[in-house]
Amino acid sequence: MRAEIMAVGTELLLGDILNTNAQFLAQELANLGIEVYYQTVVGDNPQRLKDTIYHAFSRADLIITTGGLGPTEDDLTKETAAEYFGVDLVLDERALGRIQKFFDRIGRKMTDNNIKQAMVPATNGIVLYNDNGSAPGIIIEKDGKTIVMLPGPPKETIPMFLNQVKPYLAEKQEYTFISRILRVANVGESAMAAQVKDIMDAQTNPTIAPYAKDGEAILRITAKAKDEAEANAMIDPVAAKLKERLGDTVYAEGETDMQTVVAEMLIAKKLTIATAESCTGGLVASKLIEYPGVSEVLLEGCVTYSNEAKMRRLGVKAETLEQFGAVSEETAREMAEGIAKTSGADIGIATTGIAGPGGGSEEKPVGLVYMGLYYKGRTFVKKCNFAGKRQAIRERAAYTALDWLRKAMLNEE
């Protein structure tokens, strides 16, 4: 089955709203084994919408639309689709009753315009009743072509697809496609792909696809099988082989992130931590705080930006700053030791560097960052050089500091 995702709405064309529905639907359709070759955005114009639907059906068996199901005159997705299939629209009393209850629940008056939303195909149609908004979705299927029309707001689109459309589409698929993601830290996409090229080249089912996302490298393993259990049995040995090859750079599977993995490890090991940050400005602590329950282990975080703060709060020696500078191995070491000892934490992690755009020199260029890690009585220092603009350097430094801590906990011996 070939599909096209079509977002309807002038606000999307103008960039006023981010089209997150397309990303969600593309991922879900891929998991169902439905191929998506095109994604389209069209404004609220009847002729252009009509042309787009006709053109999409010339190259796809299935169209999934979002938006254009509202009560106003420019909401014409349903009407245009009905014209394409040659079906009439009739009033669905159940849909109308649910719309009335929706307005009663939110304390607003339903207008005559909303009756338009309760019009559904007289034949060849399935109504997708909306538990999270007013507009029902519609499926029309005829002559080997199917259109699934979903409301625009993601809070309505996502549950309607998952609860009603996904089971409908799954019944039409002979096979299922299951994917597993391996997340790889501090290895570029091309370098990662080179390390596992022979494994990738040897695979046909499952397939392995590398890509970059949010500053890290990703390996997506996808298996085509009769069911999820069979697919996972196919994926398991491939994932194990990739992990063996990439070692501890693989930090997690699935939809997670570095701060979640580190926070969970800290809590599991009952290790307390405190942070002392200069160039990252609190990003390390902020990322850890995103994890609910991290208060069990995160004692405090200090942004010691000035030399005076480093001396007063962390006990960094004046002679260290004078001789080596704030951005140095020696200062990072004393920062990590100082925050750990003054807070009583098992772990102290520190960052000091030059995030730019100014302040760099030939000896200490923009992007130079020193990190200190005090870990249960031992202190380590790491020197890094990052590229990019100020915020990118800060983000990369915070991510790298957390990854360094992860590896320290993983390889504690």
Chain-centroid distance of CA 201 in Å reads 27
Q: Phi/psi zone of residue 399: left (φ > 0), alpha (ψ -120 to 50 degrees), beta? A: alpha
Complete DSSP assignment for 303-339: E--SHHHHHHHH---HHHHHHH-SSSHHHHHHHHHHH
Rounded average pLDDT over 232-241? 97
- 413 has a pLDDT exceeding 70: no
Asked if CATH classification 1.10.540.10 holds for the domain at 259-410, the reply, yes or no, is no
Residue 102 to residue 129: CA distance in whole angstroms: 12
User: Could you report the per-residue pLDDT of 365-384, keeping only the tens digit for each?
Assistant: 999 999 999 999 999 999 99
Residues 245/196, Cβ–Cβ less than 8 Å: yes
- Give the range among 99-113, 182-196, 256-270 with minimum mean pLDDT: 99-113
Whether the CA torsion 293, 294, 297, 298 is positive or negative: it is negative
- 324 has a pLDDT exceeding 80: yes
Residue 179 to residue 209: CA distance in whole angstroms: 10
Beta pairing partners, 384: 369
Q: Which of 411, 399, 407 is nearest to 251 (CA)?
A: 407
CB-neighbour burial class of residue 367 (10 A; exposed 0-12, middle 13-18, buried 19+): buried
For residue 33, the model assigns a pLDDT of: 83
Q: What percent of the chain has pLDDT over 70?
A: 100
The vertex-397 CA angle with 394 and 400, nearest 5°, equals: 150
The CATH number corresponding to 2-170 among 3.40.50.2300, 3.90.190.10, 1.10.3720.10, 3.40.980.10 equals 3.40.980.10
3-state class of 56 per DSSP? helix
- 31 has a pLDDT exceeding 90: no
Chain-centroid distance of CA 78 in Å reads 31
- Give the range among 102-106, 296-300, 403-407 with minimum mean pLDDT: 102-106
List C-alpha distances in Å: 110 to 75, 82, 154, 261: 17, 25, 22, 48
DSSP state of 184: E
For residue 349, the model assigns a pLDDT of: 98
The CATH number corresponding to 176-253 among 3.30.70.2860, 3.40.50.720, 3.90.1150.10, 3.20.20.70 equals 3.30.70.2860
Q: Which of 283, 301, 250 is nearest to 410 (CA)?
A: 250
pLDDT band at 231 (very low <50, low <70, confident <90, very high): very high
Q: Which residue has the higher pLDDT, 215 or 141?
A: 141
The domains of the chain are located at 2-170, 176-253, 259-410
Cβ contacts of 249 within 8 Å, gap of 6 or more: 184, 185, 186, 187, 192
For residue 112, the model assigns a pLDDT of: 87
- Give the range among 169-183, 306-320, 336-350 with minimum mean pLDDT: 169-183
Chain-centroid distance of CA 200 in Å reads 24
